[in-house]
Amino acid sequence: MSAKRPMVRKQLYIEPEQNLTLRDQAAKHNVSEGQIVREAIAAYLTAGTQSQEVDLNSWLEEREFIVSRRTDIKNGAKRDAQSIAKKTWTRSELYDL
């Protein structure tokens, strides 16, 4: 934020632990406590307005994996469709991919 812009004074209460952390962070980053509070408020207020993009590539990769597993079963994998239906597999085979 620009120092030339007018500021509005606000008074607020914070927990003692928050006060210590705020003081430490301000000293560590060589900025004022007010600057940290302003940045935190800005981040909080803009967090809800940012769109949450869905990574469609992840879903497509997952779909491909599922299809490949079905194909493996149809092509005579150790656990074929009949053995799964009849439960003729052993527990150790489940982890033997």
Task: Answer whether 89's CB lies under 8 Å from 79's CB.
Answer: yes
**Is 86 part of any domain?**
yes
| Same domain membership, residue 70 and residue 43 | no
> Phi and psi (nearest 5°) for 65?
-65, -45
| Same domain membership, residue 60 and residue 40 | no
Structural domains of the chain, count: 2
| Same domain membership, residue 88 and residue 69 | yes
Predicted TM-score (pTM) of the model is 0.47
Give the total residue count for the chain: 97
CA dihedral 5→10→15→18, nearest 10 degrees, is: 10
Domain range spanning residue 34? 16-47
Cα gap 88→18, rounded to integer Å: 60
Helix axes 33-47, 16-29, angle to 10 degrees: 110
Q: pLDDT per residue over 43-74, tens digit each?
A: 888 876 666 566 788 888 888 888 887 776 55
